[in-house]
């Protein structure tokens, strides 16, 4: 069946738009459940990060899916910020995403784990051959890109860029108090980078206190009750947020109160969440430097310049692997023609046998007749089956259709 991806990312949509499309990882099951209510969806994977929300789908017909896409996905699929890629183009896109080539930060290391978790979650429902092959080749391609190009050297992440931004503003971090709100993978990366750059006074806050304590324990950091963040905000020079909260956690009034208690000593707040954790209106306060995910683009420009020369090399690997997948899909899609032909030969053989099997035949004669019929049909069809298999594996749609017509076989209409 055809594969496609429909989604938005940091290249096509603003942060405000991406917030509306964002799906928390713990909500993947409910989204998948809803998708499978539609017969047009045979297999699905949902991937949502701070930079993108994408739906990878296997459908009986791209044309039929387009007609129902808005109902299936619950948004306007024809909007300018939404893209639809099919077949080999879809594969190349996923391969680039998984390898970190399509990320805001070129070579970002977190994305492969995010894609893997999304696929594992979707596999708890169902996956057909095309979707499973697509993602297995995505992981293989990402490994090739990281091992065979400079993208895999000195890997970076959005968390790394966030800490770099803090260093640009404050310089040395030894004397700065830093608060990390969140206890997931991004929060852990933030803490590691902060420590690597000399930060010593670290505090972790999370809605689940046990998770905050576990993360803080790894790095000898302090913890703060989630509900106490607003009241203690004034104690921190650097505030990083990386949660999956659907609503704002730090309001403008909280920041204003913190500034007053700090006697307007500057603060830096960096929000790595989509939807955002920090009220965007805080940016209006003169003594708060507020940055969201998209603002990090200025910080990573130099990183992109250093790594841009490797993009062409990575793209060649991605395109080659996508072409291999495209050939596999073509063979897989038309494999049913072999089954059709074999079934057709069997029907003809059986019809001839039924006419010859009279009551005056002994059991021995009937068995001999059946054996001869089987051997003759197998010998006569062998060359046809071998030729049909070669034509299918060539991927030449015109030749496949011609042979299917000659043999009166029905091709799948999956356009």
Catalytic residue numbers read 50
- pLDDT per residue, tens digit, the chain (415 aa), is 789 999 999 999 999 999 999 999 999 999 999 999 999 999 999 999 988 999 999 998 899 899 999 999 999 999 999 999 999 999 999 999 999 999 887 778 889 999 999 999 999 988 888 899 999 999 999 999 988 887 776 666 788 889 988 888 888 899 999 999 999 989 999 999 999 899 999 999 999 999 999 999 999 999 999 999 999 999 999 999 999 899 999 999 999 999 999 999 999 999 999 999 999 999 999 999 999 988 887 667 666 666 666 788 889 999 999 988 887 887 777 777 888 888 888 888 888 888 877 767 888 888 888 888 888 888 888 888 888 888 877 767 788 888 888 888 877 655 5
pTM for the whole thing?
Answer: 0.74
What pLDDT, on a 0 to 100 scale, did the predictor assign at position 412?
66
Cα–Cα distance list, 292 to 155, 183, 185, 209 (Å): 21, 18, 18, 25
In the prediction, which pLDDT does 404 show?
81
Tell me the helix, strand and coil percentages in the chain, rounded to 5.
60, 15, 30
b/e string for 83-102 if b means 16 or more Cβ within 10 A? bbbbbbbbbbbbbbbbbbbb
SS3 34: helix
Beta strands in 130-282 (DSSP E): 177-181, 201-206, 222-225, 238-241, 267-271
Report the pLDDT value the prediction gives residue 158, as an integer from 0 to 100.
84
Burial of 398 (0-12, 13-18, 19+ CB in 10 A): exposed
Length of the chain: 415
In Å, how far are 80, 232, 310, 391 from 47, measured between CA atoms?
20, 35, 25, 36
Q: What is the pLDDT of residue 395?
A: 67
Residues in CB range of 288: below 8 A, 6 or more apart = 255, 259, 266, 267, 268, 269, 282
**What pLDDT score does 367 carry?**
85
| Residues 318 and 96: beta-carbon distance below 8 Å | yes
* Torsion sign (Cα): 228, 233, 236, 241: positive
CA-based R_g, the chain, Å: 29
Q: Which residues contact 212 (CB under 8 A, 6 or more apart)?
A: 183, 204, 205, 206, 223, 224, 226
What domains are there in the chain, each with its CATH number? 3-155+311-327 (3.30.460.30), 158-296 (3.40.50.720), 336-358+367-406 (no CATH)
Per-residue pLDDT, 204:
97
DSSP 404: H
The continuous run of DSSP H or E covering 311 comes out as helix 311-356
The pLDDT value given to residue 308: 64
DSSP one-letter code for 168? H
């Amino acid at each position: 069946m055809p594969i496609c991806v429909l989604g938005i990312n940091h290249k096509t949509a603003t942060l405000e738009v991406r917030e509306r499309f964002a799906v928390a990882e713990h909500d993947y099951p409910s989204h998948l459940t809803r998708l499978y209510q539609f017969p047009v969806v045979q297999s699905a994977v949902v991937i949502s990060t701070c930079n993108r929300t994408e739906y990878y789908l296997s459908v009986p017909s791209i044309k039929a899916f387009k007609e129902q896409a808005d109902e299936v996905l619950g948004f306007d699929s024809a909007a300018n910020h939404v893209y639809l890629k099919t077949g080999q183009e879809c594969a190349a896109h996923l391969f680039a995403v998984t390898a970190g080539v399509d990320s805001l930060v070129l070579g970002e290391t977190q994305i492969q784990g995010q894609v893997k978790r999304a696929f594992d979650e979707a596999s708890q429902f169902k996956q057909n051959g095309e979707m499973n092959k697509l993602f297995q080749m995505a992981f293989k391609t990402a490994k090739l890109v990281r091992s065979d190009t400079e993208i895999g050297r000195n890997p970076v992440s959005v968390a790394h860029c966030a800490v770099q931004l803090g260093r640009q503003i404050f310089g040395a971090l030894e004397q700065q108090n830093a608060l990390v709100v969140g206890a997931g993978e991004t929060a852990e990366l933030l803490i590691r980078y902060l420590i690597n750059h000399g930060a010593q006074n670290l505090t972790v806050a999370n809605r689940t206190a046990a998770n905050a304590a576990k993360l803080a324990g790894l790095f000898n950091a302090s913890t703060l009750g989630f509900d106490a963040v607003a009241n203690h905000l004034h104690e921190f020079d650097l505030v990083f947020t990386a949660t999956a909260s659907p609503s704002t956690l730090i309001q403008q009034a909280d920041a204003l109160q913190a500034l007053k208690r700090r006697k307007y000593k500057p603060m830096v707040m960096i929000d790595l969440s989509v939807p955002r954790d920090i009220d965007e209106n805080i940016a209006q306060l003169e003594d708060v430097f507020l940055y969201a995910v998209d603002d990090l683009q200025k910080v990573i420009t130099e990183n992109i310049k250093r790594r841009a020369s490797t993009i062409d090399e990575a793209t060649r690997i991605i395109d080659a692997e996508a072409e291999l997948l495209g050939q596999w899909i073509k063979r897989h899609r038309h494999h049913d023609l072999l089954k059709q032909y074999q079934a057709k030969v069997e029907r003809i053989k059986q019809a001839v046998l039924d006419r010859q099997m009279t009551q005056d035949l002994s059991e021995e004669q009937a068995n001999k007749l059946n054996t001869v019929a089987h051997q003759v049909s197998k010998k006569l069809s062998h060359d046809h089956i071998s030729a049909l298999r070669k034509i299918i594996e060539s991927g030449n749609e015109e030749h496949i259709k011609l042979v299917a017509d000659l043999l009166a076989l029905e091709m799948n209409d999956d356009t």
